[in-house]
Amino acid sequence: MPPKFSPAAAALLAAVLLGPAQAEPRQHVELPPPMREHMLANMRDHLAAIETISRLLAEGRYGEAADTAESRLGMSAMAAHGGHHMAPHMPEGMRAIGSAMHRAASRLAVGARDAEVRGDLAGALTGLADVMQQCVACHAAYRVH
Ligand code: HEC
């Protein structure tokens, strides 16, 4: 079996073996500076929302988890965070991952409401993982610095 490296270890190894230029696989996206700051502030809120949602699910507060998912990450959040304003500045692939994340978060909200009815967390946890899969996918492919 070939050795397995975490993505971070693989990136470090690539940087050492290949030099920084070839080791940076992410596409740079040029954003006007105020928009970049706005996007990064949204990102920090995304992470805080993921923390809040996991904790609310763990505490069995499914309705609140659903509301947080929808209002801070879901299709409602896309409108509130100026997603329509930002989308034209993004490459097509990035835009697609962004809207996939917002859709996944709205599905997570539905999964959390189902958990309330059924007392079963599996759907909500899958929903949470599906949202984070889109965070990971976008971060692997794009950078703004
Ligand atoms: C459509 C693309 C995309 C999606 C989806 C996305 N991000 Fe990001 N995020 C970025 C980019 C691009 C950066 C800047 C990375 C860089 O330039 O090095 C970033 C940066 C961040 C940062 C650092 C913010 C700072 O102050 O520097 C955090 C935290 C973050 N993202 C969290 C998340 C979380 C959590 C999710 C999912 C719920 C998420 N992001 C989804 C593209 C995305």
Nearest residue CA, atom 33 of ligand 1? 43
For the chain, first and last CA: distance in Å?
A: 36
Tokens of 3: 């050795």
| Confidence bin at 15 (pLDDT 50/70/90) | low
Distance CA 11, CA 23 (A): 7
What is the reported pLDDT for 14?
A: 66
The yes-or-no verdict on residue 1 having pLDDT over 60 is no
**HSE-CB of 31 using CA atoms within 13 angstroms:** 22
The Cβ of residue 102 has, within 10 Å, a number of other Cβ atoms equal to 20
Amino acid at 112: A
Residue 99 has pLDDT above 90, yes or no: yes
**45 backbone dihedrals φ, ψ, rounded to 5°:** -70, -35
What is the rounded average pLDDT of the residues 17-39? Answer: 85
Q: 101 CB less than 6 Å from ligand 1?
A: yes
On whether the CB atoms of residues 40 and 144 are closer than 8 A, the answer is yes
Q: Is the pLDDT of residue 39 over 70?
A: yes
C-alpha to C-alpha distance for 20 and 112, rounded to whole angstroms: 42
Alpha carbon of 118 to ligand 1 centroid (Å): 33
By the 8 A CB rule, do 124 and 65 touch? yes
Smallest CA separation from ligand 1 atom 15, residue? 143
Residue 40 has pLDDT above 80, yes or no: yes
Nearest CA to ligand 1 atom 26: 40
Measure the CA–CA gap between 83 and 46, rounded to whole angstroms: 13
Averaged confidence pLDDT in the chain: 90
